[in-house]
Chains A and B, each alone.
Chain A
Amino acid sequence: MADESPKIRIRDLHKSFGENHVLRGLDLDVAVSESVVVIGGSGTGKSVLLKCILGLMEPDQGSIEIDGTEVVAMPRAEREQLMHKFGMLFQGGALFDSLKVWENVAFGLIQAEGMERDQAREIAFAKLAQVGLGEDVAALLPAELSGGMQKRVSLARAIATEPEIIFFDEPTTGLDPIMADVINDLIVKCVRELGATTLSITHDMASTRKISDRVAMLYEGRIIWAGETDGIDTSGNDHVDQFIHGRADGPIKMAVRRS
C-alpha cells in the first residue's frame, strides 16, 4: 500500500486543556481498509484523539488528513459533508433516549440522507438483525435494554449509513467477558462486510488482539510504539509489555486525573 495515501494521516497533533497537555505531538497513519487499535491507560487522551479527528474538538496544533484532505479548521459546510464518511460508536453508547431503538439506528439515514421513514425502518431492522437483535427489540426505548444490548444497538447505528471510516471508543468496556467477545465478533464481521477502515481505542487486550491489524500505544501524549498485532508480545518495549500484562510496576506511572 506504499503508493496509496493513508485513509487517516495525523501529524504533530497537540491538544491541551489549560495546564493539562493531553496530546503532545501525536503522529499516526491508518491505511485504507486497515483496523488500527490505539491502546493506553485511562485519561491518556484516547477519546480526545477521536474527537479531534471527528471535529468535535479543535486541536491546538497539527494536521489531520482524511483521504489526503486537511480537515483541521475545515469550514462547517464541508465538515458536515465529511461526516457522511464517518461512523462512531461512543464509549457510553450515546443512544438517543427519547427515540425508539429502530429510530436510533435509522437516525442517520433519515436525518442525513433524507430517506423515507418506512424505507429507513426496513434498513434499521436489517442492521439490528446483523447485530443479533430481533424486531421485538426495535420498538423498545434504549433505557429498557441491558448494557450489552445497548452496545449492539450503538454498533448497528454506527454502521447503518455504511460509512467508510468507523471509530470505536472502548467498545467492550463495562461488559462481561462473554458479551465483550460477542461485540468483538460483531465488530469484525460488520467491518469486513463493509470493507471499512477502523480506528478503535481500548484498554482491553483481548479485544485488541481480536479486532486489530495493527496496534499503536499512546503514552504521555505521543504514540510511543506501533506495530503489527501479531508482534505485540515481542515488541521489546517496556511500556507495551507493562500495559499488556497489566502490571502496576514499570515505567508507566498512573495519572491521577479523571479519564
Chain B
Amino acid sequence: MNPLAAIGRAFLAFLAATGRIGLFTVSAVSHCVRPPIYPRLIGRQLIEIGYYSLPVVGLTTLFSGMVLALQSYTGFARFSAEGAVATVVVLSMTRELGPVLAGLMVAGRIGASMAAEIGTMRVTEQIDALTTLSTNPFKYLVVPRILAGLISLPILVLVGDIVGVFGGYLVGVNKLGFNAGNYLSNTWEFLEAIDVISGLVKAAVFGFLISLMGCYHGYNSGGGAQGVGLATTNAVVSASILILVSNYAITEMFFAR
C-alpha cells in the first residue's frame, strides 16, 4: 500500500529488535560477572568453539596467505616493488584477514550450531526445565558460550596469523624465488605490536558477537523445526554483518588519526 508506511513499519521493527538485543546483551554481560560460573561448561565450549575450529581457520588463512603473496607479487612487479610482498602479507593477515576470515568462518560454524542447539532446547521446553530445576538458563547456556567465544577467537586468530604468514612464505620462497632468510626478515621488519594487538581485539569482539547472536536467536526461537531453522539463519547472517560493521569501527578506532 503506502510505501512510506511500509518503510516506517520496517524501521520500527528494526528499532524494536535492536532494543531486545540490547536488553539481552545487558542481561548476558551482567550474568557473566556474577557467580555462579560453570568452569566445566566453559571448558566444553572452548573445545567446541576453539579447538574444533582450528582446521577450518587454519585452511582458510593458509590459502589466503598464499594467494596474498601471489597477488601482491604480480601487482607490485609493475612498479618493481616485489620486496614489499612479505610486509604486505604479514600486515594484511594480522590486521584484517586473520580476524575477519576467522570471524566469518566461525560465525558460520559456531553461530549456526549454537542457535540450533539453544533453539531446540527452547522448543522442546528444556530451557523451561532448567528454570524448574533452579538453574538460571542465562548462566547455564549463554554465559559459558559468550566467555568461550571471547577467549577462543583471539587464540584462533593468533594461530591463523601464523599459518597465513607461513602460507605467504611457502609461495614466496618456493614459487616466487625469494631467499628464505630475506623473506622472514622482511616479514618482521615493519611489523609492529599494534598490528597484532588490533587484530586480537577485533577477534575478541567478533567472538563475543558470534556467541551473542547464536544465543540470542536460539533463545528467542519460535515454535517447531521451522522456527529453529530461521533462528539458525538469522544467527549467521546477523553475526556476519555485525562482524563486518564492527571491523570497520575498530579499524578506524585504532588507525585513523
Q: Which residues of A contact B (CB under 8 A)?
A: 51, 54-56, 80, 83-84, 86-88, 90-92, 94-98, 107-108, 111-112, 157, 161
Q: In the complex, which residue of chain A has the Cβ closest to the Cβ of B224?
A: A258
A94-B122 Cα distance, complex, nearest whole Å: 10
B174 at the interface (CB under 8 A from A): no
Instruction: Contact check, A83 vs B132: say whether CB atoms are below 8 A apart.
Output: yes
A54-B126 Cα distance, complex, nearest whole Å: 14
Q: In the complex, which residue of chain A has the Cβ closest to the Cβ of B223?
A: A258
A132-B57 Cα distance, complex, nearest whole Å: 48
Could you list 9 further interchain pairs (A-B, Cβ under 8 angstroms) beyond the known A88-B129, A94-B124? A54-B132, A80-B134, A80-B136, A90-B125, A97-B124, A98-B117, A111-B133, A111-B135, A112-B135
Minimum Cβ distance to chain B for residue A119 (Å): 17
Instruction: Contact check, B124 vs A92: say whether CB atoms are below 8 A apart.
Output: yes
Contact of B135 among A56, A98, A107 (CB under 8 A): A107
Contact of A112 among B121, B125, B128, B134 (CB under 8 A): B134
Give the chain B neighbours of A92 by CB distance below 8 A. 124-125
Query: What is the interface of chain B mostly: helix, strand, loop, or mixed?
Result: helix
Give the chain A neighbours of B140 by CB distance below 8 A. 111
Minimum Cβ distance to chain A for residue B94 (Å): 36
Minimum Cβ distance to chain B for residue A83 (Å): 5
Q: In the complex, which residue of chain A has the Cβ closest to the Cβ of B125?
A: A94
Give the chain B neighbours of A55 by CB distance below 8 A. 131
Q: In the complex, which residue of chain A has the Cβ closest to the Cβ of B133?
A: A108
Minimum Cβ distance to chain A for residue B127 (Å): 9
Minimum Cβ distance to chain B for residue A86 (Å): 6
Contact of A54 among B124, B131, B135 (CB under 8 A): B131
Instruction: Contact check, B128 vs A94: say whether CB atoms are below 8 A apart.
Output: yes
Instruction: Contact check, A94 vs B126: say whether CB atoms are below 8 A apart.
Output: yes
Instruction: Contact check, A83 vs B125: say whether CB atoms are below 8 A apart.
Output: no
User: With A94-B124, A96-B126 given, is the CB distance from A88 to B132 under 8 Å?
Assistant: yes
Give the chain A neighbours of B125 by CB distance below 8 A. 90-92, 94
A55-B132 Cα distance, complex, nearest whole Å: 9
Give the chain A neighbours of B126 by CB distance below 8 A. 94-97
Instruction: Contact check, B128 vs A107: say whether CB atoms are below 8 A apart.
Output: no
